[in-house]
Amino acid sequence: MHMADALLSPAVAATMYVASGAVAGVSIHKLKKDDEPRKLPVMAVTAALVFAGQMINYTIPGTGSSGHMCGGMLLSALLGPQAGFLSMIVILAIQCLFFADGGLLALGANVWNMAFYGCFVGYYLIWRPIVKSSLFGEGKPAMRARIALASVLGCIITLQLGAFSVVLETSLSGITELPFGTFVALMQPIHLAIGLVEGLITTAVLLFVYESRPELLMDVEAEADGSKRSLKAVVAVLAVVALLVGGGLSLLASSNPDGLEWALFGNAEEGYAENMGLDEEAYGVESAAADTAEAIQEKTAFLPDYAFADSDSAVGTSVSGIVGSAMVAGVAVLICLAGGFFRKKMTET
Amino acid sequence: MNKMEKALYELSEMDELAARSSPIHRLHPAAKLLSTIAYIVVTVSFDKYDLSGLVPMLLWPVLLFQLSGIPVRTCFYKLRIVLPLVMAVGLFNPLFDRRIVLQLGTLAVSGGVISMLTLMLKGLLCLMASFLLMATTPIDKLCAALRMWHVPKLLVTLLLLTYRYVGVMTGELAVMTEAYHLRAPGQKGIHISAWGSFLGQLLLRSMDRAQELYASMLLRGYHEHFHYAPVRPFALKDALYAALSISAFLLLRYVHVAALLGKVIVR
């Protein structure tokens, strides 16, 4: 879900930087006020662990495929939303700087899509309400069930929000010709499945922490020992429930393939891209969201990236442009040759 | 080599590149950071059909690769993960935008093809720019530059500490997965019975270690901030580098260099 620089226009990227920066500022302020800088090494170690832990493949039973865990939920459950958010920023920054995973300009958007939803929405709207509630009754088994429910729900919902944001940001930037509705219909079901798997793995890790060191989890009080159910059983039961729910949801989500077909074939037959604009009559899916997006797009239409090139003079695809590009390539080769020549001389002397 | 060892190798490779010496390496990190960000913003701001306008932007990374002596191959090795993703989004452009914008003899080029190529080139250029920044600037110097720009202390220290621990943790997990796979031959990943305990064990031990680490940091006089390795003051040549590169980007953005060059030959 890491977005590359090329998928964003500068205006959208800057907006996302401002949004993520503001949340980071508030988080830092809150941590300082609560005298939490002492959490710093714990944050760093946990962040590094999540970074490395995302590279582990977990086999999904019966499918032969594998998944990895959901960083945002795990971090906010262990460190709290503010510290978790900052840790996620750092993870994303290292991924972007050293592994080319997501761009430097797109960092603001990536932080928003993956850290904000996972940490703040995941914690305040899902983790805390569920874990603090008296759902499933009293005692340890109930708490285990609550942790599992919160992790799975949290991962699914926050990943859905993130995927939707990716679509929204790319569409607002005017990068892809893929119609908004089609793009959404492609992204959401895929991330539903991913979210489910991530949720189950996160559940397994958090339940393990709860079994051995419950005081490390946010909002979870260590309770008197109740009947002990095996971790495997809890995960297995949860997997079945989640698969049922997930299967049902993805059936619902994929019940509109006609929108996709229309977009892919109907449009191609026309030979024109004029339906690429958000024509809400043509596909009933996401029409409310599409309306809003269209309104926003109209406001941001001054962006160079969104403007359709009607006149060829603006396109720059004239013959002179091509010849010039070839010349630029020639200059580039010359620079390389010169660089090689001078370096050779330097090493000789 | 498993996935984690590969990641470790890539990290140390970047560290080694950044530790080299060249005119670019010796520039002030803040100047490099500023010009890199300006480059990416300008590159991304090109119109999606302006392929030939974008091509001259290639000159800057080419120049930097030559001046810094960083191998281009390392950069392209990193591209292997990212470029397919960028392409996947751009891949639909030729399907939806079939307006013919260019006729090259008998070959008709549609707007979608142009915009797909532009998108791919943009992705390539931005990636090269950030790669060059990291390959010529060690992380501690970059953090010092970020502090110079008043990025909050907490965040910068966290970045530095996390970067340090990423190496430690990745190494630890590489050993763990290796051991696990030796005991479970032929198994693709971690079995469901070990999902929680595999990472959980390490998590608990590491969190305890982090607490002890903090205690020892305090005992050695740590007081909410690190003293960074002194970065030399921002000199005239750094300012010159930043100013020159940024004005070059703006020139390339507003003057269609490729078209001008082409007009010299073609009427």
A335 touches chain B (CB under 8 A): yes
* 3-class secondary-structure state, position B151: coil
d(CA A278, CA A293): 8
d(CA B8, CA B14): 10
ipTM (interface predicted TM): 0.86
> Could you tell me the pLDDT band of residue A67, with boundaries at 50, 70 and 90?
low
Higher pLDDT, B164 or A271: B164
B12 touches chain A (CB under 8 A): no
> Could you tell me the pLDDT band of residue A242, with boundaries at 50, 70 and 90?
low
* pLDDT given at position A238: 56
Which member of B119, B161, B260 has the closest CB to residue A44? B161
Buried b (16+ CB within 10 A) or exposed e, A303-321: bbbbebbeeeeebbbbbbb
Q: Is residue B220 part of a domain?
A: no
> Could you tell me the pLDDT band of residue A232, with boundaries at 50, 70 and 90?
low
* pLDDT given at position B249: 93
* pLDDT given at position B226: 63
Q: Could B196 and A305 be called an inter-chain contact, meaning their C-beta atoms sit closer than 8 Å?
A: no
Taking alpha carbons only, the member of B163, B113, B130, B1 closest to residue B60 is B130
Q: A203 and A238 in contact (C-beta within 8 Å)? A: yes
Q: Compute CA distances B223 → A124, B164, B165, whole Å.
A: 32, 19, 20
Query: Chain B contacts of A77, Cβ < 8 Å?
Result: none
B89: closest chain A residue by CA? A176
B14 touches chain A (CB under 8 A): yes
Q: Is residue B174 part of a domain?
A: no
d(CA B58, CA B39): 11
Q: Is residue B144 part of a domain?
A: no
User: What's CA A62's distance to the chain center, in Å?
Assistant: 26
* Phi, psi of B8, rounded to the nearest 5 degrees: -60, -40
- The DSSP code for A122 is I
Higher pLDDT, B162 or A59: B162
A230: closest chain B residue by CA? B193
A203: closest chain B residue by CA? B196
* pLDDT given at position B173: 87
* Phi, psi of B110, rounded to the nearest 5 degrees: -90, 165
The parts of chain B modelled with pLDDT lower than 70 are 1, 224-230, 267
Q: Could B262 and A321 be called an inter-chain contact, meaning their C-beta atoms sit closer than 8 Å?
A: yes
Which member of B3, B40, B166 has the closest CB to residue A5? B40
Enclosing domain of residue B249 = 20-137+235-267
Residues 6+ apart with CB under 8 A from B178: B2
- DSSP bridge partners of A323: none
Domain count across chain B: 1
**Would you state the structure tokens that stand for residue B213, as one six-digit string?**
């680490």
- The DSSP code for B223 is -
Q: Could B190 and A56 be called an inter-chain contact, meaning their C-beta atoms sit closer than 8 Å?
A: yes
d(CA B228, CA B52): 44
**Would you state the structure tokens that stand for residue B261, as one six-digit string?**
């060059």
A40: closest chain B residue by CA? B158
Buried b (16+ CB within 10 A) or exposed e, A220-234: beeeeeeeeeebeeb
d(CA A117, CA A111): 9
Average pLDDT over residues A116-132: 91
Q: What is the pLDDT of residues A133-181, one digit of tens each?
A: 887 877 888 888 999 999 999 999 999 999 999 999 988 888 777 788 8
| Helical residues (DSSP H) of B104-152, grouped into ranges | 111-136, 139-148
B262 touches chain A (CB under 8 A): yes
Query: Chain A contacts of B69, Cβ < 8 Å?
Result: 339, 343
Average pLDDT over residues A7-30: 92
Higher pLDDT, B63 or A100: B63
Half-sphere exposure of B167 (CA within 13 A, CB side): 13
Q: Cα distance from A63 to chain B (closest Cα, Å)?
A: 11
Single pTM value for the model: 0.78
Buried b (16+ CB within 10 A) or exposed e, B114-150: bbbbbbbbbbbbbbbbbbbbbbbbbbbbbbbbbbeee
Handedness of CA A299, A303, A309, A314 (dihedral sign): positive
Residue for token pair 């492609």: A186
* pLDDT given at position B225: 63
Q: Is residue B257 part of a domain?
A: yes
Q: Is residue B264 part of a domain?
A: yes
d(CA A290, CA A181): 7
* pLDDT given at position A16: 93
SS3 breakdown of chain B: % helix, strand, coil, rounded to 5? 75, 5, 20
Q: Could A323 and B109 be called an inter-chain contact, meaning their C-beta atoms sit closer than 8 Å?
A: no
**Would you state the structure tokens that stand for residue A180, as one six-digit string?**
């908004």
d(CA B88, CA B237): 41
* pLDDT given at position A27: 92
d(CA B76, CA B136): 16
Q: Is residue B86 part of a domain?
A: yes
- DSSP bridge partners of A77: none
B7: closest chain A residue by CA? A99
> Could you tell me the pLDDT band of residue A235, with boundaries at 50, 70 and 90?
low
* pLDDT given at position A300: 43
Q: A273 and A267 in contact (C-beta within 8 Å)? A: yes
Residues 6+ apart with CB under 8 A from A330: none
Q: Is residue B6 part of a domain?
A: no
Average confidence score pLDDT of chain A:
74
pLDDT at A256 over 60: no
A338 touches chain B (CB under 8 A): yes
Q: Is residue B202 part of a domain?
A: no
